[in-house]
Amino acid sequence: MSSGFVRTSDGTEIFYKDWGKGQPIVFHHGWPLTADEWDGQMLFFLQNGYRVIAHDRRGHGRSTQTDDGNEMDTYATDVAALAKHLDLKDAIHVGHSTGGGEVTRYVARHGNGRVAKAVLIGAVPPTMLQTASNPGGQPLQAFDGLRKALAENRAQFFLDIPAGPFYGFNRPGATISEGAIRNWWRQGMMGGAKAQYDCIKAFSETDFTDDLKAITAPTLLLHGEDDQIVSVDNSARLAVKLLKNSVLKTYKGFPHGMATTHADIINADLLAFIKSGG
């Protein structure tokens, strides 16, 4: 087992974990988290004979706290640098939320010859922002509110999100995990405020329509029907229609952070897709 850094063309240091041997599975985290979001999946797939890799996006976690390049084109280019550095081939790329956008752009633009399959979990594509062509999206004011909260009191904001809608802990009868809340806060506070602020625009305003249309690799979309962060109706149910070779599975009552709250179910479904011929 190992970890390290890859230096990108602009000098940014991208932290990564690289454990085990076998077919590689690369995990892409959500905003504003780190590779540690995937600990449960990393250990599970390591034990099932796979090589597991996860990185901290630029500006997040242990990677360089960049003040520029915090947008999807550069995120995807950073992943390409990581894939080249680790000589990844026949890889499965799994992305959650913002990480799902990163996977979509990377696979569409850089994945030829290196990608076997893709998985998008509670992912942002096609686009989150409400526009004339995307009336079901969220208004710009909603994302302005996120930026305002981050700028005014990031530490409190990063407690409020996991304690509320991210894991569905605001729902009646929810089993609340204080550990999950603290771990979310820990990861968020590791990153750079400027990069996290910029990333809100990246995940909310990027249009992935052309990327989705360009992907030919088998793609699995998993989404919670009670996702309060990324609406399944305005994301996965639209994205699956744009992908050439895809399957959508939704989960009644599951939240945005379902890979943590329902890891046993999500891991089993990921494993079945990875082992399948399609």
Total-model pTM? 0.97
- b/e code 203-214 from CB counts within 10 Å (16+ = b): bbbbbbbebbeb
Tell me what percent of the residues of the chain surpass a pLDDT of 70.
99
Task: Report the C-alpha gap between 277 and 218 in whole angstroms.
Answer: 9
Strands 115-121 and 219-224: parallel
What is the SS3 assignment for 248?
A: strand
24-44 pLDDT per residue, tens: 999 999 999 999 999 999 999
The catalytic site residues sit at: 97, 227, 256
Residue 166 has pLDDT above 80, yes or no: yes
Which distant-in-sequence residues (6+ apart) come within 8 Å of 134 by Cβ?
126, 127, 234
For residue 236, give the amino acid letter.
A
pLDDT band for position 179 (cuts 50, 70, 90): very high
61-87 pLDDT per residue, tens: 999 999 999 999 999 999 999 999 999
Average pLDDT over residues 34-61: 98
What is the SS3 assignment for 14?
A: strand
Average pLDDT across the chain, whole number: 97
Residue 1 has pLDDT above 60, yes or no: no
Residue 278 has pLDDT above 90, yes or no: no
Residue 207 has pLDDT above 70, yes or no: yes
83-100 pLDDT per residue, tens: 999 999 999 999 999 999
| Between 133 and 278, residue with greater pLDDT | 133
Please tell me the class of the 2-275 domain: alpha beta
